[in-house]
Amino acid sequence: MPKSVPDRPVLRSAKRAGGRDACATRAAILASAVRAFAAHGYDGAGVREIARGAGVTAMLVNRYFGSKEKLFGEAVAATMAQPVILAQGNLAAPDRARAFAQALEAITRPGAAPLDGFAIMLKSAASPRAAAISRAQIAKHHFQTLERTLTGPNTEERAALVLSLVAGLHQMRQTLRLPALVKADPAALTALLEPLFAQLL
Amino acid sequence: MPKSVPDRPVLRSAKRAGGRDACATRAAILASAVRAFAAHGYDGAGVREIARGAGVTAMLVNRYFGSKEKLFGEAVAATMAQPVILAQGNLAAPDRARAFAQALEAITRPGAAPLDGFAIMLKSAASPRAAAISRAQIAKHHFQTLERTLTGPNTEERAALVLSLVAGLHQMRQTLRLPALVKADPAALTALLEPLFAQLL
DNA sequence: GTCTATAAGCCGATAGAC
DNA sequence: GTCTATCGGCTTATAGAC
């Protein structure tokens, strides 16, 4: 089975005639890598596929990033630098639980675009090296952001459980597409999620 | 990096001198496949590695199961046929929440043996074909078992959310080994999980 | 800065001997 | 019932030309 990335074949719009703009090429490769890793995971995404998505050859990928593993590290760091759901720390506790529930439901909705950071982490779990990179970046970005906004006892454990809940729903609803979650009423799902977040926040 | 399966090299203890016991060979291959798929996922586990774990050659794997994909289907069906955590439906609601929390905490504890069914599903998420097989078996076994024990509104959604919670904690604590969850106090973790299950059951 | 060509190795699946 | 040997295709990474 082919693993085509039929989306926008070339991102490099602002390059010179000869195609010699190192910065734009690098950015195009990184963007293609994020898409490919989120879609197929670390083992499933090939350097050739990533190169094709950026409009270059496979050789340039290793030339710019050294190896597939280092490219994966940069892709994970780039996607996890954007906090997305978890950064709503400026709300009061009850409102925050509702905001989390609504945001999570919307993001895992069947048609919606997945969270690249979580998609990459979940689909790359089989590779120990990729898992180590994901673990480090999750701890550095998402986990810290989240734990800082919590008060009371067991903030570490509660922050980690919030991440587990997000990862679990992402996995079952958007990656695995469990029928019960795909066809579920969004409002009912949000209503079920809200008290769970309320318990943890 | 090699993908050795150094565990018990050969399971076939009750075979005749020539090694010609079709039933035992088949069982040995299936057991080795469960171990390999749980450890490395669908794409990461090779037919040769599975064969080595069963003490046979790669050719016999395809001879007995037709293809790697069919072997994966049997491995998933075998592991998910054992309900493990979710079958504690004979308890009253409040006790059941506590039993779920304790069971989930114990099973995802760092040193403990992972749930093969969830480990295979989580690590094989990158492969669409493997995901489809997992989805069907989850719906057939775990989801049905769980939903039958629930009462009240939204039983489907609540059952799916219980599965999401189990999958999420399994992923973050045992597969990814998030530091906050690895070093967490088991009792504190159980205490945090119990009200979550109480909300859903 | 980017290319073609290739090295070296693993993959799943199969043919044919015994 | 199980083996060895092999096919065709994929992978990452690199050498050398332009």
pLDDT of A31 > 50? The answer is: yes
pLDDT at position B84: 76
Interatomic CA distance for residues A108 and B162, integer angstroms: 16
Domain A8-66 in CATH 1.10.10.60: yes
| DSSP states along A126-153 | T-HHHHHHHHHHHIIIIIHHHHHT--SS
Among residues A21, A13, A2, the alpha carbon closest in space to that of A60 is found at A21
What's the pLDDT band for A54 if we cut at 50, 70, 90?
very high
Interatomic CA distance for residues A28 and B98, integer angstroms: 50
- How near does any CA of chain A get to the CA of B92, in Å? 21
Q: CATH 1.10.10.60 residue ranges in chain A?
A: 8-66
pLDDT at position A108: 96
Residues with CB under 7 A from strand C: A 15, 18-22, 25, 56-60, 63; B 3, 45-49, 58-59, 62-63, 67-69
Interatomic CA distance for residues B188 and B105, integer angstroms: 10
Q: Other CB atoms closer than 10 Å to residue B51's CB: what's the count?
A: 21
Q: By the 8 A CB rule, do B41 and B124 touch?
A: yes
Q: ∠ CA A57-A59-A64 to the nearest 5 degrees?
A: 105
Q: Which of A43, A178, A182 should be substituted to probe chain B, the one whose Cβ sees the most B Cβ atoms within 10 Å?
A: A178
CA B133 to each of CA A83, B124, B159: distance values in angstroms, whole numbers, following the listed order: 32, 10, 19
Q: By the 8 A CB rule, do B165 and B100 touch?
A: no
Please give the DSSP secondary-structure letter assigned to residue A14: S
If contacts are CB pairs under 8 Å, which of residues 101-140 in chain A contact chain B?
Answer: 121-127, 129, 131, 134-135, 138-139
Q: What is the pLDDT along chain B (201 residues), one digit of tens a residue?
A: 333 333 444 444 444 445 568 899 999 999 999 999 999 999 999 999 999 999 999 999 999 999 999 999 999 999 999 877 766 666 777 788 999 999 999 999 999 999 999 999 999 999 999 999 999 999 998 888 888 888 899 999 999 999 999 999 999 999 999 999 999 999 999 999 999 999 998
- How near does any CA of chain A get to the CA of B123, in Å? 5
pLDDT 10s digits, A148-163: 888 899 999 999 999 9
Among residues A101, A103, A90, A102, the alpha carbon closest in space to that of A199 is found at A101
Across B20-32, b (16+ Cβ under 10 Å) vs e yields eeeebbbbbbbbb
pLDDT at position A94: 75
CA B92 to chain centre: 26
Q: Is A99 exposed, middle or buried (0-12, 13-18, 19+ CB in 10 A)?
A: middle
The SS3 of residue A55 is coil
pLDDT of A18 > 80? The answer is: no
pLDDT 10s digits, A104-151: 999 999 999 999 999 999 999 999 999 999 999 999 988 888 888 888
pLDDT of A11 > 80? The answer is: no
pLDDT at position B89: 61
pLDDT of A2 > 60? The answer is: no
**Nearest nucleotide by C1' from A68 CA?**
D12
pLDDT at position B17: 47
Q: Is B122 exposed, middle or buried (0-12, 13-18, 19+ CB in 10 A)?
A: buried
Across A21-49, b (16+ Cβ under 10 Å) vs e yields eeebbbbbbbbbbbbbbbbbbbbbbebeb
Q: By the 8 A CB rule, do B54 and B31 touch?
A: yes
pLDDT 10s digits, A71-89: 999 999 999 998 777 666 6
Helix (H) or strand (E) holding A38, with range, is helix A22-44
- How near does any CA of chain B get to the CA of A28, in Å? 23
Angle formed by the axes of helices B22-44 and A22-44, nearest 10°: 160
pLDDT at position A71: 97
3-state SS string over chain B? CCCCCCCCCCCCCCCCCCCCCHHHHHHHHHHHHHHHHHHHHHHHCCHHHHHHHHCCCHHHHHHHHCCHHHHHHHHHHHHHCCCHHHHCCCCCHHHHHHHHHHHHHHHHCCCCCCCHHHHHHHHCCCCHHHHHHHHHHHHHHHHHHHHHCCCCCCHHHHHHHHHHHHHHHHHHHHHCCCHHHHCCCHHHHHHHHHHHHHHHC
Minimum CA–CA partner of A198 in chain B: B196
Q: Which two tokens stand for residue A24?
A: 């734009």
Helix (H) or strand (E) holding A190, with range, is helix A186-200
Chain-chain contact of A126 with B123 (C-beta, under 8 angstroms): yes
pLDDT at position B69: 97
pLDDT at position B181: 97
Average pLDDT, chain A: 88
pTM of the predicted model as reported, rounded to 2 decimal places: 0.90
